């Protein structure tokens, strides 16, 4: 009496590629990738305008990134804001007057004579209790004194708020781009590396924010991780767009005979 052993196995299937996608899928994937790429370019422009000039010099530098997180321990929060994100709201002459006042000791007499008219014209429309915005109140001498202290960079509370938003948001974007990129025809090691790299880069980038708050040397890590994120997304998007529209299935026909 013989027994038959039945084994179960997975059916061998080939992974889908971009040439297997319908026109509707190709249009969907292309639209998403193009908008994701545009959104990233806009994010880069926002970062440049936010960090540009924080160290008092034109252009974006490692020092700008370091001062954003670590602060300018030789200056004040108000000076850092006037040189950085708020520089577009006040002209150079008025900014120099305010910075000179900060460095001279922030006397109340000079505030009433010089600084108050400048802030009344340029700042208090938003920086006042009446605006309802959760930003420093610069409508009074007492309010200005609260930000005329040593700049220690962005607060830990703000870092935690921004970091969890970035982790959620960028993870979803990386997932969306990765789901499209999985149809690409590439060597397995290269495709897996490029798929995983954005997730590693954003983790390292955000971790480096907190490390830079402790030591400005980690500003280099912020820049390198951000560069790797952008490079990996650029490669995924460009490779996917190319293969969506130009990759063709190559049929290999093997012929053989029996004799």
Quick: pLDDT tens for 98-152. 888 877 778 888 888 888 888 888 888 888 877 777 788 888 888 888 787 767 7
Alpha-carbon Rg for the chain, nearest whole angstrom, is: 28
pLDDT score for 82: 81
Q: Could you tell me which residue, 179 or 61, shows the higher pLDDT?
A: 179
> Which range is most confident: 12-26, 52-66, 90-104, 158-172?
158-172
How far is 207 from 167, CA to CA, in rounded Å? Answer: 11
Q: Could you tell me which residue, 107 or 238, shows the higher pLDDT?
A: 238
What lies within 8 Å, CB to CB, of 47 at 6+ separation is 60
What pTM does this model have? Answer: 0.68
How far is 197 from 195, CA to CA, in rounded Å? Answer: 6
pLDDT score for 93: 86
Q: Could you tell me which residue, 77 or 19, shows the higher pLDDT?
A: 19
Beta strands in 129-205 (DSSP E): none
Quick: pLDDT tens for 187-237. 999 999 999 999 999 999 999 999 999 999 999 999 999 999 999 999 999
């Amino acid at each position: 009496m013989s027994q038959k052993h039945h084994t179960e196995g997975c059916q061998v299937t080939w992974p889908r590629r971009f040439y297997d996608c319908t026109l509707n899928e190709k249009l969907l994937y292309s639209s998403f990738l193009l908008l994701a790429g545009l959104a990233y370019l806009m994010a880069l422009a926002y970062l440049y305008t936010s960090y540009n000039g924080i160290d008092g010099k034109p252009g974006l530098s490692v020092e700008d990134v370091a001062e954003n997180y670590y602060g300018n321990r030789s200056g004040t929060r108000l000076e850092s804001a006037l040189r950085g994100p708020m520089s577009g709201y006040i002209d150079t002459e008025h900014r120099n007057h305010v910075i000179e006042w900060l460095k001279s000791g922030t006397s109340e007499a000079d505030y009433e004579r010089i600084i108050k008219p400048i802030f009344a014209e340029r700042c208090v429309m938003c920086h006042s209790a009446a605006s309802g915005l959760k930003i420093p109140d610069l409508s009074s001498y007492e309010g200005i004194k609260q930000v005329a202290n040593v700049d220690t960079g962005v607060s830990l509370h703000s870092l935690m708020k921004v970091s969890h938003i970035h982790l959620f948001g960028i993870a979803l974007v990386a997932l969306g781009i990765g789901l499209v990129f999985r149809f690409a025809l590439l060597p397995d090691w290269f495709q897996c590396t490029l798929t995983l790299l954005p997730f590693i880069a954003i983790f390292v980038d955000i971790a480096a924010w907190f490390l830079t708050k402790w030591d400005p040397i980690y500003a280099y890590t912020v820049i390198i991780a951000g560069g790797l994120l952008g490079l990996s997304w650029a490669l995924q998007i460009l490779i996917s767009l190319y293969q969506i529209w130009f990759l063709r299935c190559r049929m290999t026909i093997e012929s053989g005979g029996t004799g």
